[in-house]
Copies of this chain bind each other. A is one copy, B any other.
Amino acid sequence: SAASTPIRATLFPGDGIGPEIADSVKQIFQAADVPIEWEEHYVGTEIDPRTQSFLTWESLESVRKNKVGLKGPMATPIGKGHRSLNLTLRKELNLYANVRPCYSLPGYKTRYDNVNLITIRENTEGEYSGLEHQVVRGVVESLKIITRQASLRVAEYAFHYAKAHGRERVSAIHKANIMQKTDGLFLKCCREVAEKYPEITYEEVVIDNCCMMLVKNPALFDVLVMPNLYGDIISDLCAGLIGGLGLTPSCNIGEGGIALAEAVHGSAPDIAGKNLANPTALLLSGVTMLRHLDLHDKAEQIQKAILNTIAEGKYRTADLGGSSKTTEFTKAIIDHL
């Protein structure tokens, strides 16, 4: 049984507040008897030639082997000659879909109380190709690449996710009225996949209109799937609706069944080491990881404890208007388990 053979999972605590919020996750998972054994890996201090970044090859091997991991914030060190840590992870592990559930937290008031949507972002190509040229002095160009393979793959994932989670509608977000070939191909792939899921309503929404609708009435949306840059923009917009990146979980899905959950907020060096950080995004990301592992009871138990603690309002970290330390908030969640 799960209790006797623990699941090995990679943990990247990350930089800045990373180690503190990772501690919070470890304590809460332990208190809930989650059958996970963490393999911890830190960002290195020298460039590993095999990854061309400060991420070590061993840390990537750990995710490849375990197929599941949790990642805190990683600040890419400034300087030349190496790749961004986040982009290295996406590329090396082929993390093709970034999934962000985004829902209003009961008791935590924002301007919106009806958000309950999932953004699914293509995570490997599009405007993130890295291909840029100076054509002549004063004229530069970037290449946006859309492939049938990556578009089908993320569309498949989105419909699969929608069906598995009892969602009713998938909206493909695009700007095919301007980028007819690239976004047109993305839509074509979504339509192909949509045909295999007649029980799911499929629609296409132009990105500018989508952003307007999201701020007017986010309840209009259910599952959104989109190319890389639109996903980057819209997932942060949606996070804003419910209070920010400190509250939104995220999970990256890779080829071969890899799932790397991550807190997408920054490493907040200004408050690092002060016991002030809010671990919610990393915790909720951990919960998405548990669901990916089909540990639904544990996921449910921990998620409820987090949400109830926040809803109750007695223990909240400073970013949510409270005065609790990270460790007090963590203890409160454990008490709610």
Contact = CB atoms under 8 A, between A and B. Distances in A.
A175 interface: yes
A120 interface: no
A213 B229 contact: no
A180 interface: yes
Nearest to A134: B181
B144 A127 contact: yes
Interface stretch (A41-49, A204-212, A301-309): A204-212
Q: Assembly of this chain: how many copies?
A: 2
B141 A148 contact: no
A132 interface: yes
A181 B211 contact: no
A233 B207 contact: yes
A206 B209 CA distance: 20
A111 interface: yes
Interface in A124-152: 127-128, 132-135, 137-149
A311 interface: no
A128 B179 CA distance: 8
Interface residues of A, number: 54
A135 B129 CA distance: 14
Interface in A171-185: 175, 177-182, 184-185
A79 B26 CA distance: 59
Contacts of A146: 139-142
A38 interface: no
A212 B236 contact: yes
Contacts of A272: none
Interface centre among A146, A214, A234, A237 (most CB of B within 10 A): A237
A241 interface: yes
Contacts of A236: 208-209, 211-212
A112 interface: yes
Contacts of A135: 145
A182 B134 CA distance: 9
Interface of A: 84, 110-112, 127-128, 132-135, 137-149, 175, 177-182, 184-185, 207-209, 211-216, 229, 232-237, 239-241, 243-245
Nearest 6 CB-CB pairs, A to B? Answer: A138-B148, A212-B240, A132-B181, A215-B240, A208-B236, A211-B237
